[in-house]
Chains A and B, each alone.
Chain A
Amino acid sequence: MYAQMVKSTGEGVRSLDEMDPQERAFQERIDAGGKIEPKDWMPDGYRKTLIRQIGQHAHSEIVGQLPEGNWITRAPTLERKAILLAKVQDEAGHGLYLYCAAETLGVTRDQMTRDLLSGKMKYSSIFNYPTITWADMGAVGWLVDGAAIMNQVPLQRTSYGPYARAMVRICKEESFHQRQGFDIMMKMAKGTAEQKRMAQDALNRFWYPSLMMFGPSDAESIHSAQSMAWKIKMNSNDELRQKFVDLTAPQADYLGLTIPDENLKWNEEKGGYDFSEPDWDEFFEVLKGNGPCSVERLEDRNRAWDEGRWVREAMLAHADKKRAAKLAAE
């Protein structure tokens, strides 16, 4: 997902009886569907895990601007250009809400930004893949935003109040993004032979990386078990991946495109599709910084940050001067 492989405490989930009264009250509130707010007591592990998770999600929105920004200047019509601009602007806005949500947990946006730029904090593996043709704008909206929605819709009910509220706004915009992606795919898939070729090629390249967005199976993961007990993770990775495939396979049919998986077929018994796992070795390489665009993405973000330093310094200096002048006048 936009947050992948987020580690929690690394300890098993404790039962209510093993908790001290404060933690027990906290867990009971979550179990009863209550929300935790910034000023409430929370276990250290909950705070740290959330910072990692929300921070990773925020960074994904920020880095996620790059593969789509890559096509804004080449969008083929004025309307497509406007829609893509609006979408990328939404993503920057999502980054902003999420950084604000993370800041309520006692970390600053500057610190998180530094951790992104140094490579210490991660962003979703998917944004390390290149966008090569215009059809990729369709595939990113249809598959990548489609996969993100699978995870984000349940997160509207997550236990941490500021995160849940940010997610409500984000989900509204994401479903529009997904629809615009599908709309591009439809035009391409029903278009000229060259467009159809681009559409199929985009699906071929983005299918497995989209499946990787959910992360490897976490049925056995103690990190996931703890996050689920805290309701900061609502479903298992496999559950969400299955749901995504079940929803997407008929859409590909409708488009007349072929999902690049010979094993993909409907399984009546389980009421879902059987499908092939992505190449998890590739996934772990991408996480290590060996994705096709990993170096470029971080280079881009670092360059923007370094080249913008004089602007940020000047804005602060001007604000200080204004404040001083105002004080002097009083």
Chain B
Amino acid sequence: MASDAHLFEWLCRMGDNALVLGHRVSEWCGHAPVLEEDIALANTALDLIGQTQLWLGLAGEIEGKGRNADALAYRRDVMDFRNLLLVEQPNRDFGHTMMRQFLFDAWHIEMLSALKGHEHAEISAIAEKSLKEVTYHFERSADTVIALGDGTEESHKRMQDALDRLWPYVGEMFLSDDIDRAVCDPAPLREAFDARINAVLSEATLTRPDSDFAHKGGKTGVRHTEHLGHMLAVMQFLPRAYPDAQW
């Protein structure tokens, strides 16, 4: 059984991934290329914020210092965030947004599948609930990557650029340390992830980059990108500016 300290850290990793990506996706609201995409993006963001409440809620309980999900989301600074660098990448264009979603979903779906039936009953229950949503997220992001990769010359180029640009953030998802291994080691999931994305990228006529170089430092909190601080400045504005208020 994992120690409470490890469990807390690990739950923050899961919760912060959902929070930061959910927030990024929510930035699209009202600005998508077509109405159906606006609805789908809002839906994805909504699922991820719901998952955030569950993971960070449990993290707060296990920590036992009276912090709930909101306290963790709104009152920590960059160095205490434990999300992957991939999810804090800015939206750039719709292609980047969907490529980021696709790469994360492909990892997320394997991670949640591995967590189903976990000895920690609450982790297993959250994973099971989230997996239903993420199965749909992956289906949609994969379909979109295929359509845009294969679509026109311009869309193909944009999607290849997005893949090349985001690829150095893929490796971090599979790095493992004592905290991961105490709950669920992501390293063995790489093979299934590769099979999953290779099939989609090939149908999308996109070329998987050769390089194995991986930026790291997000999930350990050692070195986030400059983007995260700006996101938190926006997200945390109200609770920071009015610390005594209830909303």
Q: Is B148 an interface residue (CB 8 A)?
A: yes
**Residues of B close to A318: CB separation below 8 A:** 146-148, 150-151
Q: CB distance A65 to B30 under 8 Å?
A: yes
Q: CB distance A311 to B49 under 8 Å?
A: no
Q: CB distance B158 to A310 under 8 Å?
A: yes
How many interface residues does B have (CB within 8 Å)? 50
Give the distance to chain B from A322, nearest Cβ to Cβ, in Å: 9
Q: Is A295 an interface residue (CB 8 A)?
A: no
**Residues of A close to B234: CB separation below 8 A:** 73-74
Q: CB distance A77 to B74 under 8 Å?
A: yes
How many interface residues does A have (CB within 8 Å)? 49
Q: Among the listed stretches A85-93, A213-221, A282-290, which one makes contact with chain B, having 4 or more residues with CB under 8 Å of it?
A: A85-93
Q: CB distance B30 to A66 under 8 Å?
A: yes
Q: Is B113 an interface residue (CB 8 A)?
A: no
Q: CB distance B46 to A315 under 8 Å?
A: no
Question: Which partner residue on chain B sits nearest A195 by CB separation?
Answer: B245
Q: Is A303 an interface residue (CB 8 A)?
A: yes
Question: Which partner residue on chain A sits nearest B73 by CB separation?
Answer: A78
Q: Is A154 an interface residue (CB 8 A)?
A: no
Q: Is B224 an interface residue (CB 8 A)?
A: no
Kindly identify which residue among A78, A81, A300 contacts B31, using a CB–CB cutoff of 8 Å: A300
**Residues of A close to B70: CB separation below 8 A:** 77-79
**Residues of B close to A324: CB separation below 8 A:** none
**Residues of B close to A255: CB separation below 8 A:** none
**Residues of B close to A314: CB separation below 8 A:** 147-148, 151-152, 154-155
Give the interface SS of chain A, mostly helix, strand, loop or mixed.
Answer: helix
Cα of A315 to Cα of B32 in the assembled complex, Å: 14
Q: CB distance A76 to B238 under 8 Å?
A: yes
Q: CB distance B26 to A73 under 8 Å?
A: yes
Q: CB distance B247 to A85 under 8 Å?
A: no
Q: CB distance B30 to A73 under 8 Å?
A: no
**Residues of B close to A82: CB separation below 8 A:** 46, 49-50, 53
Q: Among the listed stretches A28-36, A40-48, A186-194, which one makes contact with chain B, having 4 or more residues with CB under 8 Å of it?
A: A186-194
Give the distance to chain A from B45, nearest Cβ to Cβ, in Å: 6
A-B contact pairs, 7 of them (CB 8 A): A73-B23, A78-B49, A187-B246, A300-B31, A304-B30, A305-B33, A321-B150
Could you list which residues of chain A lie within 8 angstroms of chain B, going by C-beta atoms?
62, 65-66, 69, 72-82, 85-86, 88-89, 92-93, 95-96, 99, 134, 184, 187, 191-192, 194-195, 300, 303-305, 307-319, 321
**A-B interface, 9 closest residue pairs, ranked by CB to CB distance from nearest:** A308-B33, A314-B151, A314-B155, A65-B30, A89-B42, A69-B29, A76-B238, A311-B33, A76-B247
